Structures are given as C-alpha cells and as structure tokens.
A and B are shown apart, each in its own frame.
Chain A
Amino acid sequence: MWALIRRWRWPVMLLLVALAAAAGLSASASAQRRAALAQPASAIRQLRFDVQAHREGGERTLRQLADYGHPLAARTMAELAAVDPTPDAQQRALDWYRRGARSGDAESAYRLGLAYLQGRTLPGDPLAARHWFERAGTLPAARHRLAMMLLRGEGGVADPVLGQQWLAQAAADGDADAMFALANRYRDGDGLPHDEALALYWYQAAASDEHPAALQTLSLAYARGELGLPVDPAQAQFLGEYAGHAAKCHTPHTRVALF
C-alpha cells in the first residue's frame, strides 16, 4: 500500500493542489462577486459622475460591477448610453437594460418591456413586453403599461377588470401617464362610467406632474369651456405655453401642483 501511495504521490498532490486552487479561485470569484453586489447605491451614483467626468477607471469599474450583476450598475450603464440618440448607442443601452432586468432591477425591466412594446430598437414583441412589465413588479410606470396591455388584450389574454385595477393603482402611485390614461377613460366613458369631474381631477393630477398632453388637454379645455371649466383665455394661454415647454424640455421636472 505504501508503495502505491508513494508511486502516485505527485499526481495526487498535483490534483489536490489543482482542486484547492480551483476552489480558492471560485471562492475568491464569488467573494469578488459578493463584494461587487454589496456596493451601495451611493457608490454607483458616484461612479456615474466619474464616467461623465471621464475619470480614470470610472467606466471600467462601473462596467465590472454591471458585469457582476449589480442591478443599479447595469441600469446606470444603460442610462449613460441612452443619452445618445444613435441606433448603436440605443442598442447598447438596451443590452444593459436587459442585464439590469435580469439582475432584478425594476426600472431596467420596465425599459426593456417598453422597448419590446414600442418596437423601435428591437422588433416589437408584445408577449415579451408583458413578461418584462410583470417582472418590474410594483413600479408604477410598468404597472401602467401592463394595465393598458391587459385592457387591450395585447401580448396575452385581455383582463379588463385587472387592467382597470392596475391602472388606478399606477395613477394613485404617482405615474403621470396612468393618471392621464385614467382621465381619458373617465372622459370618454371608455370601460368606466363617463365622469367629467373625475376626468378633470386626474387631468389636473397629471398636469401637476408636468405631463405635456394633460397640460394641453386642460389648456384646450379652458380655451373652449370643456370638462365643466369656464372659458378662461389667460389660463388657456398659460397652460398651453407650459405644455409646450414641458414637451420640448424633455427633462422631466417633478411635481408642480398647479391646481
């Protein structure tokens, strides 16, 4: 027996060393991964500044974190790329949103879903859109989109009851597009009883979030005396100009509370 051990001792030792090394590497790799995933949001946001300032190593570090699956890092890579309107940059942004979505970032899942819904950078795929909106969980913007798909039967079975429920939820949770959509439904009696007062309430709520179409709707309402509002040329003028500023500005300000 000792002869056997002695004969095989080197290969066995080599094997043991190799196994130990592999285990060590894997342990350190997952330690690295754990460390990456543990990076707080503030560190990622600082990295965003570093990338914008072209600081040495900024992009590399952020990309590494994104590669390790840090959700916010992936989303930040996407947002940085998305600023450029070129098709290449938009495609890269989408790839990063996908990474973020897979890592569990709700905002990334929403963006990916929107990309499948609108079919600009990717071919439209309503099923995929629904899937990713669902993955975004309670994110109001995603809820709004999912609600509209459920109401229309896009990308799956229609479910008007659930769709309306989630539309109302998204509006209550502060999504301005949902507020606007809800207002439209009340105004047109579309799946909801016609209710001008509620329509007005939700248009105003959306307008307070500088939603351009809501601002314009109210401007037109004041110009023509719609929605139970008095004809008020000054308000019409003011809201119309505001709608134009909000549309052109393309940088969402937050909460104005005009009403």
Chain B
Amino acid sequence: MYPIHKKAALCATLALALSACGGSDGNNATPAAGSTSLQVQPSLGQISNADVTVKSLDGKVIGSGSIDASGAVKLGLGNVSGPLLVEVSGKAGARYYDEGLNAELDFPAGETLHALLPGAQAQVGVTPLTEIAYQRLLANKSGKLAEVTAADIGKANDDVRVQFAPELKNLLSVPKLVNARTGAGALDDDEAGRYALKLAALAKAGVQGLDESKPELAAGADDAKAALGAQRPMLALGRQLGRDFADGQFDGKEGSKALSEALYNADDFHDRIQDKLLQAAQQLGTARLVELVQQGGAMPRGNALSRAEKGTQLDLAILQTTDLHTNIKSYDYYKTQDDITLGFERTATLIDKARAELPNNLLFDNGDTIQGTSLSDYQALVSPVSCNATLAQYKVMNLMRYDAGNVGNHEFNYGLPFLAQVTGAAMRVPGTEDRKGCMGPRFPLVLSNAYAVSDKQPLFAPYVILNRTFRTADGKRIPLKVGVIGFAPPGIMSWDKRNLDGKVYVEGVKEAAEKYVPAMRKAGADIVVALSHGGISAAPYSPDMENAVYHLAKVPGIDAIVSGHSHSYFPDGKNYAGIAGVDNVKGLVNGVPTVMAGFWGNTLGVLKLGVTYDGAQWKVTQSQGELRSINSKVGNDTVAVAPHAAVGKLVQKEHEGTIRYVSTPVGTTEFRISSFFSQVGDTAAMQLINAAQKDYVERYVKASLPQYANLPVLSAAAPFKANYRGTGYTDIPVGGVAIRNVADLYLYPNTLQAVKIDGTALKAWLEKAAEQFNQISPTQTADQQLINGSFPSYNFDQIDGVQYEIDVTRPKGSRIVNLRWNGQPVAAGQQFIVATNNYRASGGGGFASLDGSKTIFDAPDANRDIIVAYIKAQKTLTRAAQGADGNWHFARATLAGRVLFESAYDAEAVARADGIANVFKVEDKADRSGSIYKLDLSL
C-alpha cells in the first residue's frame, strides 16, 4: 500500500551513509560532510518571529537566530558533527498560521517545537510530527537526551513517519509553508506539498477535536475563531499524540492510562485525518494532490485493518436528512411557540439512536439546508453571521458529525457571497473574494452540475471519496472508499437568476453523472452514493428536468441515491406508487436503493445496504429503505421524540436572537389594535391590513401596470382570529408593534395577490362574505344570534376603498346595499383592482369568479411582511391616519327583539374606540372567558 515507506525505511537505516537517497527537492536526510549551515523551516502553518536554537545533545548551543518573514532561518553550525537538537521557541510577538481556523494565532513563550537530527544537514523541517519523535525519545531515555544516538533518532523519526505520515520520505523534510495568502493549488504532490497537507489536516483535526471535547468554547462566543484559537488546538493535539505514541502504541492511551480530554479517538483517527486531508487538498492542493488523498495515499496508519476478500460482507446504513430549511429548534418564530412537527433538534435524537443501532453508518444531508425560517433570515439579513462564526445550521450539523452534504436550490437564495462565506468555499466568483477562510461546515459539500463562469469548473467539489473503516459481522475492520456526488435542480438558473446570471451555469443531472461517476470509480470509489436534490419522476428525461432521480438511477455505477426537494417520502408504500421501475416498499428506483426523507427535520431516512466484495469489486447485495419520523400519533394526540439537548444548547443564542428579532418593535401604535369586534363593524385591525396592502399594490401598479393606473385600488381583509374554539383574538396594545404582533394579526403565511374585477364581482364578493350572518327577523321578539357559528371568520372579507351597508334582515345574496365608490353607486361594469391574498384570489373559500383568472399581480412578498414593511415606513400608527374609517356598517332596521353575539370580556369601550357605536354589553359570561353583546340596528 505504501511503496514509498519501504524506500524511506532503507534511507533511515542508511542515514549515516554519504549516498543520497534521492528526493527531487533535495530534502534528504543524509548529512553532507563538512556542511556548515542549517536552514531551519518550521511549520504548524507558517511560523513567524519565533526563536530557533540548534544544540548538540549535551545541551551546548551551536547556533541561534530568529525566524524571518520567509518563515525560515539559516544558521551557521561551524564544524559540527553528531546528532543535533533543533528548538523552535515561542515568545511575545511570535505567531503561526492555523489551517484549521484559517487564522493567525499566537505562538507564545512556553510553546516549543523540537526536531532531532541524526547529524548535520542542509535543511530541516520542524513540525508537530518531529516533536512527537522528540517526545518519544525523551520518554524512552527517561529524559537523558545525551544518551540518544543517531540510530535512535533515525528510528524514532521513522517510526513516527510510518505511523502518522507514511506518504513522506523523511520526517525531517521541509514542508511547504502555508499562510493566509496561500491560494488554491499551492500544494502539489511532492514531498513539501504532502508534508504541508498533512500539517494542514492535523490543524483541522485539532480544531474539530477541541470543538467536540469542549463545545461550550465556541458555542457562546461571537468570535468562535478567537475562542478556539486561544487554546492553540494544533499544538494541544500534537502534545496528546506525543504522549500517546511515547510507548510506540497509538491507542489513545499514555501507557495504559487513557488520555483525558482527548482531542481525538485513536480508532477513527485514520478516517478523521482522511476527511481533513481531503478538505485541505481541495482548499490548497492541486488536482494530483486531491487524487492522492482520494486514493487513500496519505493517511496515518489505520489500526488493525484487514483486507477485503471474496465474500466479505458489510452491513452499512446511510442515514440522511433533506430539506431541513434551517428548522433547528422545534419552534414557530411567527407564533413564538413550540412546534413539534419539525426541528433538527429532534432528528438529532433519531440520528444518535440509529448510530447506536447501526455502527457502520454514514450521515448525509441533501441540501435546502441554510434557508427557510426566521432564524435563517436573522443570520443572513438581520444580524449577519460573521466570518469567524459558524452558521447555526452548520454548527449543529458539525456537532452531529455529518460525513458529507449536498447543495440544493435554496442555498442560493441569499446570494453567492453569503453562500461562499458560510460554506467556507473558495468560489472563484466575482464578489466573493473577501469571503475566504471563514468558519463553515467541517464536512465536505459536493455539487457536480453547477459551474463557475469564470473558470468553467464546478462551484463546489463535484464529488469526494471518503475513506472509511467498517466492521464485518465477525469484527474485522475493513477499509472502504465511499464516493459521494451531489446534484442540484437546473431550475436554479431561473429561480435564482438574479443571484446567478453571468456567474454560474448548470448542466443536466444525468449529464453530470455520466461525466463524474466514471471518474469516481477510476479514483478508487468502492461504492458511489448520489445526493440528488430532486425528486422521482418518470416523465421523459430532459437536461433541465427538476426531478431527475428516476433517470439518474439509470446511470451505471451508482449504488444508492439520497433524494429530496419534493418534500415527500420514499419508500412509504404510498407515494410514487404505480410507476414502472419504482418499488415504493423496498425503496428501489430502477433497481437503485433510494430514500427520500421528508423535510424540516420531520424524518430521518435510513437506507440499509448490504455490500459484498466479489473479489474484484463491492456490490450491493441487499437493501431496505426506512423512514423514521420524529413524531407519531397516540390516539388524537401528536407526540414527538425528546429533543437533543446539546443541539438546542448550541444554538441557544441564535434562537433567542431570532425571538428578539421577531419581538422587537418595527413601529409603534398610538391606539389599541384588536379583532374583538372585527366581525361586527369596521375596525382598525382590518384597516391596517388593508392600508398596507393597498399601498403596496398602488406602487406596483404605478411601476408595472401603468395601463391600469387610473383604476381604483381597493383592499380586502378578514379577521383571522375571532376566538374560534377559544383560540383568542388579536389584541395589540398601545406601544411597540413587532413582527410577532403582525403575525398574530395576519395569522396565515399567504402571499399578496391583486385581482381586477368588475362591480358585479365586487358585490358578489361582499355578498359571499355577508353570509357570515344569520338572517335576522325584524318581528321576532326572542333573542337572535347575529353570527352563524359555522361560518369561518377568515371568510368575512371587508373591502376598504368602497362604502357599503350589510342588511342582515335580507336573505343571503342580497344583503349588500348602497355599494358606492367615491360617493357614487358602483356600476356593474366598473373596473376595480382589489388587493388580497393567494388563497382568496385562487378560489379559497369559494368566492364566485375568483379562481386565479382575475389575478393581475402575484407578489413575491407575504402579506405579513408587507404589513411589517408598511408599519416600518409609517413609524407611528395614529387613529387619524390608520384608524377605522367606518366605510361599512349594518343597514339600519327596527327590530322587535335583540340581536346578540359573543366577544371578548367586557370590551364595549374597545368598540367605542374603534368608532363602533351600536354594540352594547348585555352580560359577562360566568367564567369571564368573554361577554355577550347586543347589536342595535336602529343606530
């Protein structure tokens, strides 16, 4: 597996010989006789200003100096022979570049890196790996350095090399220096590049290990980079590795005692470093270096790995989430209350459970991850997340140790600069240059069918090869290369044209698969998993097809598909039934095991795969897809699994910030805005909705429908909260009005639509709304109920901009009288524009002639957001400007008896304040849950 290692071992034993062992860049270990200077080039990443001392093993200082701006120092050694100790010491002002945090950190006094040389040589690298060898020798000789021989040094250095960096020829080679300015492709597949890559991977592993062992460090910090950097994770990791390996056994133990607060796990160190190598290679390496990593050619020695043989079987489980849409807490930010039908904090509980049950697991996410809730808006727009902090959604996914993630269509909604920043991707797109090296997901993101216009290369890595170790049923540890490729729907070019035009272009899913899957096989993938952000459709293939999984499954070489985007479920025995080639019980699409696991965190997908090695390749021999829901029904109740405590805790700050955001006033109101009497009179609550909608539509018409600029713009609104089944009213007190208040007034997440109708349709609209009332008999002396209890208040549309009366003594269909616009009776053919919502305009509620055919404007904005914007612009709502204008009232009638209705407790004064003079409290309800009122139609 590592031919180079044999050669290097030879070199080590011949260390004293004068013949060079090759090494194209002259990083040879053999001493050249009579050399009088030593170039010392230490690295964590590039170090600056540190002191360097060269000593003989008895402690005599032979030379000293300081690292210069090039990251090295050349010291004269005089006429020296024999083993040497090089010390690189920190001090005030010394710094080093950490590739895990992409930041410069202090290298203070007290921190030292050592390298032991068997003899004088021209150049040497001093790294945490040479430090491990030093610690090992020190431990073996009980601290008596003077007793160490050149042979001991050669062996120790090589033992460390074999264990941690077998891809190197010599542990003392000089690594290429990586700093903040190091760009993509800087490291090539040569000794210096490989060494730099290994150090970068260790730096990243150090950060991850620190974050995992002490999540509270970064969780609460505004500057996570600084919080983690203060602990100098790479140096801490190096120390632990040194203590572990001091006894020559890499087992997570110092001797027989387990390391405390360990920053790594010896058993999966091999897999962990592979991931980090891949990330580092994609960030800093050439394609050849990436290839080296994907072929498994640069990893530390794995513990007790076995080779696969013909018949070797592995039971794998592909765990998956899709379309999380930043639903982390099980919470509804508009209602500011819990919502157990969603939430990654609950999916995480299922992930832990599945991992305990299925130890050979991989966890993938299929995109549409970072956009979709007030929390994502908060972090993208309101209180933008900084480069030095990880996006909340990625924080929790880092915590749950995802193996890889796909990019979906909604990832592009906040624009490319934001995406580049939060993913830490180097995007080669104009406008994203300054968003480099930011904190992001620790797992790789893949996407193969979206390209940067600038260099025609995929925007993200098209695929990754993950080297993993899995156990057979009889306990053998088998390495497996898992190829993971990602696809997004090509429709992003239309849906996010504004963000992508001229910067990104796409290819069809099938075309990208045909291009890259063979490359993945060539790169050594044993199995290939496709993360396709698209659904399952048997329609004939076209490259711009949104839901291409059915056709993707026909591309040879794909072993499993993770599907999504359609917010559906597969296999559940119900969805995608009756399609040739689709088995929605086992979960097969054209023979390929496939799972689609809901959305918003409501489901964890589990694809169980049995794979068998036939002597030449791994084949899937069994599969079963499963959908595990976070909630279930117990009788009439919905119950949910317990939330994962650590997930919730990790995003507590962002969660509370979002609640503050929706609770922060966007304006103030000088008067109380309530829906207590919105069913029986014109109220400010409806006036406010209509004022906002009318304003928005008027602007739009002026700008984009000038041919209709002369038409009156009316607006329709209905009271959504009228205490149905005790669910309460809207009641915004005088003072600040926040987003959550507006969400309480406008309960539904509708988008605004405007329709163009004539006078006949306008009257019909109002007539339908007026069906809310019972027909009142003027002669009946017994009490009559005004409101028909089975009529939903959300259908009682009141239209502002016209004047009308409702005569409740008449039958349904002829109750609207005196319908006037601008004082004149409305003519049957008179044209109006009415602002409303998508539900009403497309036929919701069955309002005659509204069925989508009258829509002249389909706004991108939600009604709620339009009201918020209106209040922001007005700043203060006053009775004079936004109070009810009394444009409608009941037609007057003289009745023999009373007409009654129920409303809020003892609220007559509130009606008066809204200008409603004809309602009078009759009595309070015994339980004070409300009061009975009478409507005096004679007033």
Interface residues of A (CB under 8 A from B): 41-42, 45-46, 48-49, 52-54, 79, 83-87, 117-120, 123-124, 145, 148-149, 152, 154, 177, 180-181, 184, 187-188, 190, 210, 212-213, 216-217, 220, 223-224, 226, 230-232, 234-235, 237-238, 240-245, 247-248, 250-251, 253-258
Contacts and interface: CB of A to CB of B under 8 A. Distances in A.
Nearest to A148: B851
Given A220-B794, A247-B751, A257-B576, A212 B842 contact: yes
A230 B635 CA distance: 12
A220 B409 CA distance: 29
Interface stretch (B268-276, B387-395, B488-496, B662-670): B488-496
B862 interface: yes
B792 A224 contact: yes
B851 A253 contact: no
A42 B748 contact: no
Contact of A255 (B506, B535, B705): B535
A243 B340 contact: no
Contacts of A180: 842-843
Contact of A224 (B565, B568, B725): B725
A244 B567 contact: no
A45 B724 contact: no
Contact of B748 (A216, A253, A257): A216
Contacts of A149: 853
Given A234-B638, A237-B341, A248-B751, A42 B543 contact: yes
A210 B844 CA distance: 14
A120 B856 contact: yes
Contacts of B565: 253
Contacts of B838: 212-213, 247
Given A212-B838, A253-B566, A184 B542 contact: no
Contacts of B493: 49, 52
B744 interface: no
B334 to A, nearest CB: 9
Contact of B568 (A52, A117, A188, A255): A255
Given A52-B505, A120-B857, A254-B537, A244 B846 contact: no
Nearest to B337: A237
Given A49-B544, A220-B794, A255-B568, A247 B750 contact: yes
A46 B567 contact: no
Interface in B745-780: 748-751, 756
B189 interface: no
Nearest to B752: A247
16 contacts: A42-B543, A45-B508, A45-B544, A49-B490, A49-B493, A49-B506, A53-B453, A177-B842, A216-B844, A220-B794, A232-B636, A232-B638, A234-B638, A253-B547, A254-B535, A257-B568
A238 B748 contact: no
A142 B706 CA distance: 28
Contacts of A216: 748, 750, 839, 844
Given A54-B453, A213-B843, A254-B535, A49 B567 contact: no
A147 to B, nearest CB: 10
B522 interface: no
A47 B325 CA distance: 32
Q: Which 4 A-B pairs have the closest CB atoms?
A: A244-B749, A53-B505, A234-B638, A257-B575
Contacts of B352: none
B557 interface: no
Nearest to B325: A245
B878 interface: no
Contact of B340 (A53, A154, A234): A234
Contacts of B494: 79, 83
A222 B574 CA distance: 22
Contacts of A248: 749, 751, 860, 862
A210 B567 contact: yes
Interface string B790-833: 00101000000000000000000000000000000000000000
Contacts of B191: none
Contact of A117 (B495, B638, B853): B853
Contacts of A117: 853
B854 interface: yes
Interface residues of B, number: 69
A86 B704 contact: yes
A256 B537 contact: no
B479 interface: no
Contacts of A223: 724
B707 interface: yes
A48 B544 contact: yes
A45 B542 contact: yes
B567 A148 contact: no
Contacts of A152: 849
B842 A256 contact: no
Contacts of B311: none
A250 B751 CA distance: 10
B502 interface: yes
A118 B340 contact: no
B849 A213 contact: no
B376 to A, nearest CB: 13
Interface of B: 325, 332, 339-342, 372, 409, 453, 490-491, 493-495, 497, 501-502, 505-508, 535, 537, 542-544, 546-547, 565-569, 574-576, 600, 631, 636, 638, 704-707, 724-725, 748-751, 756, 792, 794, 838-839, 842-844, 846, 849, 851-857, 860, 862
Given A48-B544, A240-B749, 14 more contacts: A49-B505, A52-B501, A54-B502, A79-B494, A83-B497, A212-B839, A224-B792, A235-B638, A241-B749, A247-B838, A247-B862, A253-B567, A257-B574, A257-B575
Contacts of B631: 234
B167 to A, nearest CB: 39
B490 A217 contact: no
A224 B726 CA distance: 11
A152 B495 CA distance: 35
A123 B567 contact: no
Contacts of A154: 853
Most buried by A among B409, B566, B706, B860: B566
A217 B535 contact: no
A54 B547 CA distance: 24
B636 A230 contact: yes
Contacts of A87: 704-706
Given A45-B544, A237-B339, A257-B574, A245 B372 contact: yes
Contacts of B547: 253-254
B506 A52 contact: yes
Contacts of B851: 148, 177, 181
Contacts of A119: 756, 856
Contacts of B849: 152
B748 A49 contact: no
Nearest to B602: A238
A184 B502 contact: no
A240 B748 contact: yes
Given A120-B705, A238-B341, A243 B490 contact: no
A123 B707 contact: yes
B309 to A, nearest CB: 44
Nearest to B567: A256
A92 to B, nearest CB: 15
B862 A49 contact: no
B233 to A, nearest CB: 40
Contacts of A187: 846
Nearest to A231: B725
Contact of B409 (A42, A188, A251, A258): A251
A49 B547 CA distance: 17
A238 B749 CA distance: 12
Contacts of B636: 230, 232
A223 B747 CA distance: 12
Contacts of B751: 247-248
A118 B794 CA distance: 25
A45 B543 contact: yes
Contacts of B506: 49, 52-53
Nearest to A253: B566
